[in-house]
Amino acid sequence: TQLLEQSPQFLSIQEGENLTVYCNSSSVFSSLQWYRQEPGEGPVLLVTVVTGGEVKKLKRLTFQFGDARKDSSLHITAAQPGDTGLYLCAATQGAQKLVFGQGTRLTINP
Amino acid sequence: DAGVIQSPRHEVTEMGQEVTLRCKPISGHDYLFWYRQTMMRGLELLIYFNNNVPIDDSGMPEDRFSAKMPNASFSTLKIQPSEPRDSAVYFCASSHRGIGNQPQHFGDGTRLSIL
């Protein structure tokens, strides 16, 4: 059983469309991180959310932490081909271990 | 500043051979992590160090895997003997001052293929 369930697993859309991907759990987290991974590279941190209900924006990307701190969403407005990649959410399990979801593999078609 | 450096980038070897993966963390970072990524299991933590001391190795699959950090600027992950099911991308990451709120900085990984 995955601690963090991400959905959808795969998403392919056209340039200019909007999309939302989700990261869900039955556990409560003190913080949650979103990473993006491009082919042949390691994951790169996009954002950390800490407070329940928190919303953070990074250009066309909007991240939200659920009120109960059990889930998070990533919304991309007017997607571009450069947004293509694997989006991973991660949260701390126990005292000092970061656990990753399986990821959403996003493809933006020109 | 240089990021996390891993070597080699690719490794292809035959079953039964010893494999050594290397990592140089970002200078000043006191945490170092080894991960394995596969399509089936995603990104899994194998082991992590704090100030060169192994803290949690519960993710190491079995005794064939071992990791060392002899100093603050170098770590190795060794597989002996290697098996085809060890084929994966292995990532090293480092961070400063802990886990959770701090970003982990990943290297570009070593793609390992065991034939």
pLDDT single digits (tens) B55-114: 999 999 889 999 999 999 999 999 999 999 999 999 999 998 777 678 899 999 999 999
Please give the interface size between A and B, counted as residue pairs whose CB atoms are below 8 Å apart: 54
Please list every residue in chain A whose beta carbon sits closer than 8 Å to the beta carbon of residue B93. 42
**A62 by DSSP, 3-state: which?**
strand
Give residue A31's pLDDT. Answer: 86
Give residue A1's pLDDT. Answer: 54
Q: How confident is the model at residue A23 (pLDDT cuts 50, 70, 90)?
A: very high
Which positions 20-39 of A are in contact with B (Cβ < 8 Å)? 30-31, 33
For the cut 70, the answer to whether the pLDDT of residue A101 exceeds it is yes
B5 shares contact with chain A (CB less than 8 Å): no
For the cut 80, the answer to whether the pLDDT of residue A94 exceeds it is no
Give residue A82's pLDDT. Answer: 94
For the cut 60, the answer to whether the pLDDT of residue A102 exceeds it is yes
Q: How confident is the model at residue A65 (pLDDT cuts 50, 70, 90)?
A: very high
Q: Taking the alpha carbons of A93, A45, B74, B29 in that order, is the dihedral positive or negative?
A: negative
* B42 vs A40, A41, A100: nearest CB: A100
Beta carbons of B108 and A48 less than 8 Å apart = no
Please list every residue in chain A whose beta carbon sits closer than 8 Å to the beta carbon of residue B56. 96-97
Give residue A73's pLDDT. Answer: 97
Give residue B23's pLDDT. Answer: 98
> Nearest residue of A to residue B105 by CA position?
A44
Phi, psi dihedral angles at B103 (to 5 degrees): -70, 145
Whole-angstrom Cα distance, residue B25 to residue B93?
A: 7
Q: Could you tell me what percent of chain A has a pLDDT over 70?
A: 95
In our burial notation (b when 16+ CB lie closer than 10 A, e otherwise), range A80-104 reads eeebbbbbbbbbbbeeebbbbbbbb
Give residue A98's pLDDT. Answer: 85
